[in-house]
Amino acid sequence: MNLDTVLQKHARTTPNKLALGWESGEYTYQELNEKIQNLATHFLLNGSKAGDRIALIVDNCPEFVISYYACMRVGAISVPINPNFTSREFSVIINDSTPKIIVTNEIVKEILLNINLECDPKYFIVGSQNFNNPIPNDSMQTSMNLIEIEEGTILYTSGTTGTPKGAILTHQNLYHNAKTFAEAFNMKEDEKTLIVAPLFHTAAQSNCLNSIMYSGGYSYLLPRWKSSAKTLSAMQEQKTTFFFGPPTMYTYMLSDPNIKEYNLKLRFAYTGGAPLSSSLFNKWRETMGFEIVEGYGLTECSPVVSINPPNGRKKLGSVGIPINDVSVKIVNELFEEVGIDEPGELLVKGPNVMQGYYKRLEDTQIAFIDGWFKTGDIAKRDTDGYLYIVDRKKDMIIRSGFNVYPKEVEDVLCQHPAVLEAAVIGFSDNEKGELVKAVVLLKDDCIENITSELEEFCKKRLATYKVPQKFEIVKELPKTNLGKIIKAKLRELYV
């Protein structure tokens, strides 16, 4: 099953229902379907064929949505890319994926024309005739009965730990995640989402665009995050019922002094991509009267693996239980399953797991064991089957033979009233092997003796070997577009 066929079904059964909106316009399902058909024909007339890659390098806009589903319609593989990348980052991904067509804007096109690319793509510019000029009726009959291929999209990992790798997600992966996510939140055709998280990222694609479209609902696009006031105003105006954003977006919204004055219709607020702190969870519940739903996922899993039940029992600090048809297990270094509440590496198997890494057979083989995908995350499971992410396996610090999980230390630091955010990294020590360093962003710039205060705060709440030996007070933490702190960059800067 291809998600584009679901969209076409909505265009037939509810043609006049609104499907997509943005600041200057909106499309019904019939209008959106016609735009997709038109662009799909343009793709074919410009030489695109089944299996070709088409890069989408734009912010959240209707052209992204049209292009994304047009790729599905012609059997091409979409390659969404962050439009804010540098020349070097563009070069790595484009030379790896070698797209036949690039959908972008004039600014990015100029950057790309000055890069030594190993392919010669055609450019479709947002707002150009490819999107606005209808194809004559006789040309519209260009055959869409192409060879069906498994691959739906290639999403490049964030590169927080090294060179980006392209995760190949199949149509089955995309369909399963959209369907299962929509069912978990009981989404119906009256569901409305506001998409401000970037659509070039798997979370916004699956959790918002695809799941809402699967349900026959309505998506409203904001190009990018500008302010909490802009987002909250749009939520109120659009009567948004479902919202997804990383924890940082919720932090920003709660900092808006007028948040309680907005007449919001939210049923659910969902988060993922970075840990949800207990302080943020509690403050949102106290302020808004309902709880943020936390889930866990990663690009290679389309992305959702587990969700704290939206309509069931939620456990603070947990990322919930696996979604339908997805299996997980937690193993030690010998890949033997560990017991209840014991930490180990989380493995995943199911229809959400990627086909593999594009053109990287060895990396793909390393990523799997006996059909199970190795997430690289340390997790544990309680007696009720709820999962808890302890930390990234590669981020774990070993001090004097004891395992220190940075997330645990970060959670403690974030309980201090002066701390806005914290990231914990390890650094080498001849005697202990590794020691612990905390990089801290404060709510207020100047606080006297804050490092000593933070050290004492940790000593009262953590075993001695977990207490940071060094503190670095910073004005900014390097992050990905979804608000995940880039630990590799922190090590470059502060180790």
Q: Is residue 90 part of a domain?
A: no
Q: Is residue 409 part of a domain?
A: yes
Whole-number Å distance between alpha carbons of 89 and 112: 11
Q: Is residue 465 part of a domain?
A: yes
Whole-number Å distance between alpha carbons of 345 and 379: 6
Model confidence pLDDT, tens digit, residues 411-426? 899 999 999 999 999 9
- 487-493 contacts at long range (C-beta below 8 A, 24 or more positions apart): 487/160, 487/161, 487/392, 487/395, 487/406, 487/423, 487/425, 488/160, 488/161, 488/162, 489/160, 490/423, 490/425, 490/439, 491/425
Map residue 202 onto helix, strand or coil: helix
Strand 218-221 to 192-195 pairing: parallel
Give the pLDDT confidence score for residue 138 in this predicted structure.
52
Work out how many domains the chain is built from and give that number.
Answer: 1
Name 246's bridge partners: none
Residue found by looking up tokens 């909505």 in the block:
10
Task: Compute the half-sphere exposure of residue 412: CA atoms within 13 Å on the CB side of its CA.
Answer: 20
Give the pLDDT confidence score for residue 127 in this predicted structure.
84
Q: Is residue 483 part of a domain?
A: yes
Which CATH number do you get for residue 423? 3.30.300.30
| CA distances in angstroms from 467 to 36, 328, 424, 435, 459, listed in the order given | 55, 32, 10, 9, 6
Whole-number Å distance between alpha carbons of 3 and 152: 10
Q: Is residue 163 part of a domain?
A: no
* Predicted TM-score of the model (pTM): 0.86
Whole-number Å distance between alpha carbons of 137 and 118: 36
| CA distances in angstroms from 101 to 41, 47, 89, 400, listed in the order given | 13, 9, 18, 53
Q: Which residues, 6+ apart, have CB-to-CB distance to 426 below 8 Å?
A: 395, 397, 398, 399, 404, 406, 434, 435, 436, 437
Give the pLDDT confidence score for residue 161 in this predicted structure.
45
Q: Is residue 261 part of a domain?
A: no
Q: Is residue 407 part of a domain?
A: yes
Whole-number Å distance between alpha carbons of 71 and 79: 10
List, for the chain, all residue ranges whose pLDDT scores fall below the cut of 50. 140-143, 159-161
Model confidence pLDDT, tens digit, residues 338-376? 999 999 999 999 999 999 999 999 999 999 999 999 999
Residue 435's domain comprises 396-494
Q: Which residues, 6+ apart, have CB-to-CB distance to 114 below 8 Å?
A: 87
Q: Is residue 434 part of a domain?
A: yes
